[in-house]
Chains A and B, each alone.
Chain A
Amino acid sequence: MSAVNAPSPGGWREWLMSDRPQSRRQAALGRAYGGWRTFSRNRLAMLGLAIVIALLLVALFANQLAPYSPYIGDLRTTRLLPPSAAHWFGTDDQGRDILSRIIHGSRITLFVVVLVAILAAPIGLVVGTVAGYSGGLIDAALMRITDIFLAFPRLILALAFVAALGPGIENAVIAIAITSWPPYARIARAETLTIRQADYIAAVQLMGASPWRIVLRHIMPLCVSSVIVRVTLDMAGIILTAAGLGFLGLGAQPPTPEWGAMIANGRLYVLDQWWVAAAPGAAIFLVSLAFNLLGDGLRDALDPKGVK
C-alpha cells in the first residue's frame, strides 16, 4: 500500500477530503467519509442507526441479557402477569417472560432480514443488470418474469409459497426472498440503461472485455448503492411480512419467540391483558421505523450528486 501517503496526525480529514486523491483507495475512503458526513448530519437517520445497532447487540448478547428462559413458563404461577419489576413486560399465556422472548425474538427478526437481503438483493441485481445491458429478447423475457412476480400481492404469494413448502422460519425466508427481488431488478435495470451508453463502458468493450465482466465489474458496482438504499427501505416491509406470516401461523413454529406469532397469541387477551400483544407490537414498530429512518439517511448519503 505504498499509495497511502502517511498524512500528518490530524490531517486525516484533509487527506480524506482531498480534491485530488492519489489512489483508488483514497478516493473510495474519501467518498465514504463524505457520505458519512451527510449521513451523520441527519439526526433521524442517526437515531435509526442507533436502534439498528442496539438490535444487533441485543441479538448478539441475547443469552446474557434475557432474565428468563424464553421457552419455559409455569402455567400455574406466572401466567398472564401484568408488567412488574420481576417481569418488565409481563408474561404470556404460557407463563413465559415476554421481555426474554422479545430479546430472543430479535435474533429471528435479524436472521430473516439479513437472509432475505442476502438472497433477494443479488438475484434482483443480476437479473436487472443483465436485462438492462443485454437488451432485446433477454431483456424482454427477464422483465416479463419480473412483471409476473410483481403482479401478485406480496403477502399472498408468500402465503402460497409457505403453504407449499411447509411452515417454518427458513421457508418463510425463502418465500419472502422469492417475492421481494422484482423491485431490485427494476431499479438495477433502470440504472444499467443510463450507464450502458457511458464512454467508459465503450472503452472497456474496445479493450475486449466479455459481457459478463462488464456487467459484474463495471455496471453492477454502480447499481449497488441504489439497491442498498432500496433494500434498507424494504427491511421494514420484510419484517412486517415475516411478522404477518408468523401472525397467520405460517412463519415461526411454536414455541419460537417470533414477534408476529407473539402478537397472534396476544390477540385473544387484548381486552384484558393488553401487554401480551403490546410489547412485540412495539418491538416490530420500533425496528421497522429504525430501518426506514436508516434507509432515508442512506439514500441521501449514497446519492452521488448529493455528496459534498
Chain B
Amino acid sequence: MQNSGIRKPGCLLGAAAFAMLMAGSALAATPKDTLVVVWAFDDTITMDPAESFEISAGEFMGNSYDRLLRYDVNDPSKLLPDLAKSWTVSPDGKTFTFELREGAKFASGNPVTSEDVAFSLQRAVTLDKTPAFILTQFGLTKDNVKDKVKATGPLTVTLETDKSYAPSFVLNCMTANVAAILDKKLVMSKEQNGDLGYAWLKTNYAGSGPLKIREWRANEILAMERNDNYYGEKSKLARVIYRHVKEAATQRLLLEKGDADIARNLTPQDLDALKANKDIKETGTPKGTVYYISLNQKNPNLAKPEVREAMKWLVDYDAIGDTLIKNIGIVHQNFLPVGLLGASTEKPFKLDVDKAKGLLAKAGLPNGFKVTMDVRTVQPVQGIAEAVQQTAKRAGIDIEIIPGDGKQTLTKYRARTHDMYIGQWGADYWDPHTNADTFARNPDNSDDAKSKPLAWRNAWAIPELTKKADAAALERDTEKRKGMYTEMQAEFRQTSPFVLIYQMNEVAAYRANVENLKIGPTSDATYMFKVTKQ
C-alpha cells in the first residue's frame, strides 16, 4: 500500500499546492514578518545559559534571555538597566543591591521575582560549567553562593563579593550570558535527580527576553518567535529563523537569490564582490578579538628590549589592513579591543625597516638572526605570517614558518617551547580585566605556575605591571580606572613582547529591505529583535 496516499485526490491537490508553494518561494523573498539568517552555528552545544560559551549560542541567548543589565550597544562602556531598574553599591564596595523592574513576566507567564534572579546566579555557580568563572572570580563558590546571592525582598537581590572590586568590573560581568535570568518555577518543574533542570534546558527555553526559542536542531535550524510577554518594546518580527549553512559560497548564493535576509560568514572576497550588488548592504562592528604575534622571552635574541621593539616596526600594518584583513579586521595596536572601557586607539607603529635595523644594531645583532614562528594554516593568519616574514627579512631577521593545525601550534605555545607565535585572543566577558588578566598579568613566571596567562606563555616576567593590573581591577572610580588602563596600554605598547596587529571586525551582508541590523561588539549583543523589514 505504498502508493495509497497519492491515489486520494485530496492528497494530490495538496501535493500540487505544496509544489506551487515551493516554486513560489524560490522566486519570492522571505515573508515580511520573518527574518532568515544563514550562519554556520555548528559550535552550539546547548541552550542552557549556564553552560553556553560559544559564539553562536551567545547570540541566541542575547536575544532570548534578559539579564540584570545590558551594556549599551552603541557605547559598550556604558551600562543600561534590563531586568534590574536600578542598582547600588555599598560603601565598602562588596555588596551590590539590585532593584528589579515591576511587572516583568517570563514567556511562560510567570512573574519575574528576586527568587528567580538568585536562583539563576546560584544555579550557574553550582553547575560550574565553562563560563561559571565569570561569576566565581568574585569569590562565589558552590558552598557559599546561597549566602552571597540572596533575595532580600520580592524585587530586591543582593550580591556579595569577597573583595571590593571595581564596581564596573562586577557590573560588566552581570551582562554576560552566564548571568541570564531563568524562570525558576518552570526550570525546577523539569528537574531530574537534582540536576537543576540541566538536562531539560539543554534543548528548551525558560527566559523572558524579547524573542523566545521555539526549536533548535543542531547543525540545522534555530527558530525564535516574538515573546508577547516581554516587558519592553516588542519585536517587530514575528519570527527569526537561523539556518545552518556552512559554506560561504552557499550563503552568498542564498542571499543573492533572496532566500536569506542576512548572511553571516562571507569571506572578504565575497564581501568585495557583493559591493557591486545594489540589493545587498553590509554592516560591520569591531569585535572583542585581537590578533597578535608574540615573542617568547626564553629566546635570548627575542628577550632583548630593542629586538622586541624592532619587531613592532617590521610589520606593514597599513598594507595588511588594506588587503589581507580588508572587511574582516581593523589595524589595532593595543591589548584592549576598541569598545572596552579605557581601550586606547593609539597606533604609533608602522613599517620602518631603517628604524628596526638601527634597533637591531643597538641590540648587537646588526646582521639580524634566525628564528621560528608557529603558524596555524588558516587564513588570514598564514597570510599575515608570510607578509611579516617578508618584511622582517628586509631587516635581516630570517623567520622560519612552522605550519601546523590549531592543536599542534597551541600545544607548543601552551608549553612555551615556541620562538614566535601568531594567534588571537577573544575577550571572555565585557570588561577590560579579561584582557589585562592575560596580557598584562603574570603572577608566577616559573615553569610549573598555576595560572598560565599569555604573558606566562611568553615567559614575560612583569611583577610591576601585574600589580598595576590588579589595582585596576579593584579601582572603584570608573574614570580613574579608565586612566589606569590607558597608562598600562602605553607601557605595554613600548615594552611588551606582543606585536598587536588587528582587531577582528565582524561583517554581515543583508538584503536592502532589512533595517536596523547592527552586529554587537560581543556575540550576545547582536540583537535581531531590533531588526525590521520593509
List residues of A whose CB falls within 8 A of some B CB.
Answer: 71-73, 75-76, 79, 93-94, 163, 166-167, 248-250, 253-255, 264, 268-269, 271-273
Q: Chain A: which residue is nearest B377 at the CB level?
A: A249
Count residues of chain B with CB under 8 A from any CB of chain A. Answer: 29
Asked if residues B401 and A253 are in contact (CB atoms below 8 Å), the reply is: yes
Write the chain B residue with the least CB distance to A264.
B377
Q: Residue-by-residue, is B371-388 near A (CB-CB < 8 Å gives 1, otherwise 0)? A: 000010101001101110
> Chain B residues with Cβ under 8 A from A93's Cβ?
323-324, 383
Determine the main DSSP class of A at the interface with B: loop
A94-B386, A271-B269 given; A254·B319 CB < 8 A: no
Q: Name the B residues within 8 Å of A248 (CB-CB).
A: 377
Measured in the bound complex, the distance between the Cα atoms of B233 and A82 in whole Å is 52
Which residues of B lie under 8 Å from residue A249 when comparing CB positions? Answer: 377, 382, 403-405
B267 at the interface (CB under 8 A from A): yes
Contact between B319 and A76, CB atoms less than 8 A apart: yes
CB-contact partner of B324 in A75, A166, A255, under 8 A: A75
In angstroms, Cα B386 to Cα A163, docked, is: 22
A254 adjacent to B404 (CB under 8 Å): no
- Return 10 A-B CB contacts under 8 Å, by A number: A94-B386, A163-B408, A166-B402, A167-B404, A249-B405, A253-B401, A253-B402, A255-B401, A268-B379, A271-B249
Cβ B405 vs Cβ A253 within 8 A: no
Query: Given contacts A75-B323, A167-B403, is CB(A255)–CB(B269) below 8 Å?
Result: no
Which residues from chain A contact B272 at a C-beta distance below 8 Å?
A: 272
Interfacial chain B residues near A273, Cβ < 8 Å:
269
Consensus secondary structure, chain B interface = helix
Do the beta carbons of A79 and B401 come within 8 Å of each other?
A: no
**Whole-angstrom distance between the alpha carbons of A248 and B378 in the complex?**
10
Specify which chain B residues have a CB less than 8 angstroms from the CB of A272 in the assembled complex: 269, 272-273
Question: Among A72, A76, A268, A271, which residue has its beta carbon within 8 angstroms of that of B390?
Answer: A72
B381 CB, min distance to chain A CBs, angstroms: 11
- In the bound assembly, the distance between CA atoms of A163 and B383 in angstroms comes to 22
Establish whether residues B387 and A75, one from each chain, have CB atoms under 8 Å apart when the complex forms. Answer: yes
Bound complex: CA A110 to CA B335 (Å)? 46
B434 to chain A, nearest CB (A): 31
Which residue, B316, B375, B383, has most C-beta atoms of chain A within 10 A? B383
- The interface of chain B, by Cβ under 8 A from chain A, is 249, 267, 269-270, 272-273, 316, 319-320, 322-324, 375, 377, 379, 382-383, 385-387, 389-390, 400-405, 408
Q: Which residues of B contact A75 (CB under 8 A)?
A: 316, 319-320, 322-324, 387
In the complex, chain A residues whose CB is within 8 Å of the CB of B383:
93-94
Residue from the list A167, A254, A268 in contact with B386, Cβ < 8 A: A254
B133 to nearest A CB, angstroms?
32
Closest 4 CB pairs of A and B: A249-B377, A75-B319, A249-B403, A254-B401
Of chain B, the residue at the smallest CB distance from A271 is B249
Q: How distant is the Cα of A268 from the Cα of B377 in the complex, in angstroms?
A: 12
Chain B nearest CB from A260 CB (Å) reads 12
In the assembled complex, which residues on chain B have CB atoms less than 8 Å from the CB atom of A166? 402
Chain B residue with Cβ nearest A269:
B269
Q: Report how far A102 CA is from B29 CA in the complex, Å.
A: 46
Partner of B400 from the list A79, A163, A253 (CB cut-off 8 Å) is A253
Q: Within 8 Å CB of B323, what residues of A?
A: 75-76, 79, 93
B431 to chain A, nearest CB (A): 35
**Nearest chain A CB to B274 CB, angstrom units:** 11
Closest Cβ neighbor of B403 among chain A residues: A249
